Every structure is written in structure tokens, then in C-alpha cells.
């Protein structure tokens, strides 16, 4: 069993061809670029990867290609949480089959206000069907999108009843107090901030890093903050301030469209602007505003191969 991923992770974008099919090689190349530019790991099929705009068949086919790609499997995490148990089982089993042990799971998010007992039953059934001791399962706490939060009581039940399986959480709620409380309450349960804005604060509170959408473009700065914190360097706070300014500027725009706009400009590949409905590419005026805003916070992307 591989070591757990800790540190900086980007919630990787999915590249699309002009017909909006997955650009498999483009997505794999972007993942490799992230790993070479500040990321300790990359999450595939998260919110920013437009996972819920992809069919199960598309995701399964991409995982086959990912498994054959030569990318380091111990640095990858796959989003496998679906509303139905069979879909979650199929994606999670495929993830393990191709050699990736880390899976991030949304709760079943269509039906609102489920009980903790109902959520427990869902995850227990998935684990029963997957039945693989190598699985490292991470919870995806994003109540603004899923409208189904994970209570601390439920997390405690998971940890007690499935030791070694539930490894951590991506907390995208924006509530740092919740991140801090989980890190204190559940030692050994890896808390990732869902925004690099709280990277340093989360590390200080006992968390392990960040899994962030805007890390698709801020990964190098995220990596600098993480390295400074590990080294006990005095400039960690200053670097975090710069990183926070970049995050705050980026989050004024739709995440996938804005990040893809910046990548399209740096790489010279217009196809990076492709997103699936209901998302739309940034209008020209908004794109120029994005570039201007990022210039104000001294943002620069590392070079990208065309």
C-alpha cells in the first residue's frame, strides 16, 4: 500500500476537444505539468474537472487511458462519488484496478436532508461491494454544491467502524473553523483545505495541505508556501499573503472557465477554453478583466508546452 498523499493538490481540469469529447492526452499532459509545477498530487474528476458533466462510460474509458499513461499512481486521487451505489462502486473499483488507491467521494447528493444513518448505509454498501483493503477513501465536504454535509458525528462513526479506510477530507465549505475542528478532533484524519487561501492556516492547525480548483494555475505558489512551511522558513507568511491575493482574484470568476482561459493564453491552445454546458467560456470582456486582475496580483503561470 502506498503512502498517503499530503501537501498541495490541484483539482485537475478536464481538457475537451472542439466536439466536447474528452481530450485524453491533453488532460494527461496537464496532470503531468501540475505534478512538475508545485503539486504533490492531482485530483482527477473533481468539481473543477466537470466530473458531473461526464457520463460514467466516459470516466471509465478515461481511467483506462490514465492507467496506461505512466503517470505516478501514488500521486493521483480520483473522484468516484456518485448518487447511486453501483456507479460509485464501478468507478472506485476501476480506480483500484488501474493502480490508484486514493478516491474522493461526494455524498449521494440528489436527495436532500438525508440522515446520518442513511449516509452511513450508502458508504458502507459501497465499501462492502468494492471490498479492497488497499482503498484510501476521502470525504468530499462541499455543502454549497452538494447540500449534503458530513457531520462530525458521522465522520467519527466512519473512523471507528472502518479503521484505516477513511483517510481524510477535502473541506470545500470555506469554513476554516470546521477544518480546524476536524484536525483537532480526529488525529490521523487528513484534513485538506478546499482553498489555498487557508493552506498555511490548515497546516498550522494540524491539517495536511490543500486540494484546490485554482491550484490548476497557482500550483507553483502553493508549492512554495508548502515548502516554506516544511522548512520553517520565515517567509511562509509573506508567500501565503501573495497566494491568498491570487486566489481571491481568481474566485471572482467562474472557476473552470477562468482557469481554462489562462491556460489557453499561456499554451496557445484555444481548445483549452472548451467547457461543457451549463458552463460557458468567458466572454471576451470578462477574459480581459481576468487578465488585468491577475496582473495586479503579480500572477504568472509557469511555461506550458503547446
Which residues does 146 contact at the CB level (< 8 Å), separation at least 6? 106, 107, 109, 140
Give bridge partners of residue 171 from the DSSP assignment.
141, 193
Element (H, E) at 84: none
22-61 confidence digits (pLDDT tens): 999 999 999 999 999 999 999 999 999 999 999 999 999 9
Note whether residue 15 is domain-resident: yes
155 labeled binding residue:
no
Note whether residue 262 is domain-resident: no
Q: What's the number of domains the chain is made of?
A: 1
Note whether residue 278 is domain-resident: no
Cite the active site residues: 140, 170
Residues in the chain: 306
SS3 143: helix
Alpha-carbon distances, residue 277 vs 47, 150, 257, 274 (angstroms):
14, 28, 11, 10
129-152 burial string, b = 16+ CB within 10 Å, else e? ebeeeebbbbbbbbbeebebbbee
227-259 confidence digits (pLDDT tens): 999 999 999 999 999 999 999 999 999 999 999
Q: State the pLDDT confidence band at 303, using cuts at 50, 70 and 90.
A: confident
pTM reported for the whole predicted model: 0.97
Note whether residue 298 is domain-resident: no
Chain mean pLDDT for the chain = 97
Domain extent at residue 125: 7-231
Question: Could you tell me if 266 and 301 are in contact, meaning their C-beta atoms sit under 8 angstroms apart?
Answer: yes
48 labeled binding residue:
yes
Note whether residue 270 is domain-resident: no
Note whether residue 282 is domain-resident: no
Note whether residue 44 is domain-resident: yes
Residue range 178-204: mean pLDDT, rounded: 98
Note whether residue 55 is domain-resident: yes
Domain with residue 15: its CATH number is 3.20.20.70
Amino acid at each position: 500500500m502506498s503512502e498517503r498523499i499530503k501537501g498541495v493538490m490541484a483539482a485537475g481540469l478536464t481538457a475537451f476537444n472542439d466536439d466536447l469529447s474528452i481530450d485524453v492526452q491533453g488532460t494527461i499532459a496537464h496532470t503531468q505539468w501540475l505534478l512538475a509545477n508545485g503539486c504533490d498530487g492531482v485530483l482527477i474528476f473533481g468539481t473543477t474537472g466537470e466530473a458531473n458533466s461526464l457520463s460514467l462510460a466516459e470516466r471509465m474509458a478515461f481511467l483506462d487511458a490514465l492507467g496506461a499513461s505512466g503517470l505516478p499512481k501514488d500521486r493521483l486521487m480520483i473522484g468516484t462519488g456518485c448518487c447511486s451505489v453501483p456507479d460509485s462502486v464501478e468507478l472506485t473499483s476501476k480506480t483500484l484496478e488501474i493502480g490508484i488507491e486514493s478516491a474522493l467521494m461526494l455524498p449521494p447528493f440528489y436527495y436532500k436532508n438525508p440522515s446520518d444513518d442513511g449516509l452511513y448505509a450508502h458508504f458502507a454498501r459501497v465499501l462492502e461491494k468494492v471490498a479492497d483493503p488497499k482503498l484510501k477513501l476521502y470525504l468530499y465536504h462541499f455543502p454549497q454544491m452538494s447540500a449534503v454535509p458530513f457531520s462530525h458525528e458521522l465522520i467519527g462513526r466512519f473512523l471507528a467502524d472502518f479503521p484505516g479506510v477513511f483517510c481524510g477530507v477535502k473541506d470545500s465549505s470555506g469554513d476554516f473553523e470546521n477544518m480546524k475542528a476536524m484536525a483537532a478532533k480526529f488525529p490521523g484524519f487528513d484534513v485538506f483545505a478546499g482553498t489555498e487561501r487557508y493552506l498555511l492556516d490548515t497546516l498550522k492547525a494540524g491539517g495536511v495541505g490543500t486540494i484546490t480548483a485554482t491550484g490548476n494555475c497557482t500550483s507553483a505558489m502553493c508549492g512554495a508556501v508548502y515548502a516554506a512551511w516544511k522548512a520553517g522558513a520565515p517567509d511562509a507568511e509573506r508567500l501565503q499573503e501573495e497566494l491568498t491575493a491570487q486566489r481571491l482574484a481568481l474566485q471572482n470568476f467562474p472557476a473552470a472557465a477562468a482557469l481554462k482561459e489562462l491556460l489557453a493564453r499561456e499554451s496557445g491552445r484555444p481548445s483549452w477554453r472548451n467547457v461543457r454546458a451549463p458552463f460557458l467560456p468567458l466572454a471576451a470582456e470578462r477574459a480581459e478583466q481576468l487578465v488585468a486582475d491577475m496582473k495586479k496580483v503579480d500572477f504568472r503561470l509557469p511555461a506550458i508546452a503547446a
